[in-house]
Amino acid sequence: MRAGYLVFGEVETGGRVRCSGACNIVAASFRERSLTSDCGSGIPGAQPVSFCRRHIDELKRADYYLCEKSDGIRCLMYFTRDGDHEVHYLIDRKNEYYWVPGLHFPLPNDKTFRKFHTETIIDGELVIDTIGGKKILKYLVFDCLMIDNKPVMERTLDKRLAYFREYVYNPYRHLCKTFPQEVDFFPFQLEFKRMEFSYAIEVVFRDILPKLPHGNDGLIFTCRTSPYTFGTDTKILKWKPSEENSVDFRLKLEFPVISRSDLDNDSDEESDDEDDDEEVVDYDAKPSFHLYAYYGDQGEDSYQKFGDMYVTDDEWEELKALGQPLDEEIVECRMDEEKRWKFMRFRKDKKDANHISTVNSVIESIEDAVGQDELIRSWKEVRDAWKQRNAQQPGQQQQGQRPPQQGQQQQQQQRQ
């Protein structure tokens, strides 16, 4: 086991979880028994596609849940055991496994709180909430794959979340309320990610986003009736303002080649005339910044050049001043008004660049962008289509279609 921290992409956030890398045996066992080989080399979970204008019609055709896209760390959580002890791992975008001590998720109806869940997999993200000047690390759950060795991936999203709420989340909340003094010792708090019906677009922009205690960079629409899909899922839609749409590339630097005589002239050093015609790489010059997209596990052809990153002289000086390696790094880039790729940040949390299909999806989203106002204007048609689809559903099924926290609120009201 190797000790370490699971650290947020931006160092200044200060968010980190004390943990250790899981041994290869545990990681291999998890992949073989739970997620199979369809997951690829990246995070073994569902990935969204970028929102385009045609997706407005998709929101009218099918039931979708809506939530904000948090600025945090996406990771799966795996519950298992080591002998008589429960063990929990976080799995990051690099498909690396981190043991997180100090967590406890009791089984339902166990008054002793000693029995615990095993072979359980949930999907979520780590965020830092700032509340009353205090920073609180939280894991927000937005999906569930398996509970106590029983796969739920083929169930609809509302059912998956309902199972998680009843069997995992409610007992966990009961534990926290019974022993509130212990909550401060947890490495992080676990909560449901707040979800709304897809037609609550205006409410989300007006009432929810301005009050978020953590960073946000868009919206996520997830189809209620779809199973959980590993890899790219066309039923999960990621909306961002067009100016914030970005792609993760692998950066490769190419420095100019000059003759040794030119290099010596620049350095004012005497040279051997016989070597004047020798070509050397000028590492003091500004390089070309080539961007490569990922094409899958194809050996030497796994990465192919997609374009170039535009960097001004001042920006090059800023990059050099960072004092860190640049070549072969994963960089997040946006497209400017002149359709040039511009550097945004490094993605230390990612092992690979975006797949070419994701790159093309983002570019389509940029070129066929749906602005915030246009998205808001669609809410009535989306709502009417939802209501019409579900008009004949029995009341019990309607309740099952509610987002997790809304269903819980209704149950509490019925008890009162």
Find how far residue 345's CA is from the centre of its chain: 15
Q: Which residue has the tokens 């997830």?
A: 222
Question: In which element (H, E) is residue 327 found?
Answer: none
For the chain, how long is the longest CA-to-CA vector?
A: 94
Query: 69, 94, 159, 286: which is the annotated catalytic residue?
Result: 69
Q: Which of 337, 314, 309 is nearest to 248 (CA)?
A: 309
Record the tokens describing residue 298, joined without a space. Answer: 């194809």
Q: How far apart are CA 157 and CA 142, in angstroms?
A: 9
Q: How far apart are CA 259 and CA 245, in angstroms?
A: 42
Record the tokens describing residue 62, joined without a space. Answer: 């099918």
- The yes-or-no answer on residue 94 being catalytic is no
Angle of helix 157-164 versus helix 404-415 axis, rounded to 10: 60
Q: How far apart are CA 98 and CA 285, in angstroms?
A: 41
Q: Provide CB contacts within 8 A for 170, sequence distance 6+.
A: 108
DSSP line for 347-416: -TT-SS--BHHHHHHHHHHHHT---HHHHHHTHHHHHHHHHHHTTTS-HHHHHHTS-HHHHHHHHHHHH-
Q: How far apart are CA 198 and CA 170, in angstroms?
A: 25
Q: Provide CB contacts within 8 A for 13, sequence distance 6+.
A: 128
Q: How far apart are the first and last CA of the chain?
A: 49
Q: How far apart are CA 49 and CA 71, in angstroms?
A: 17
**Residues taking part in catalysis:** 69
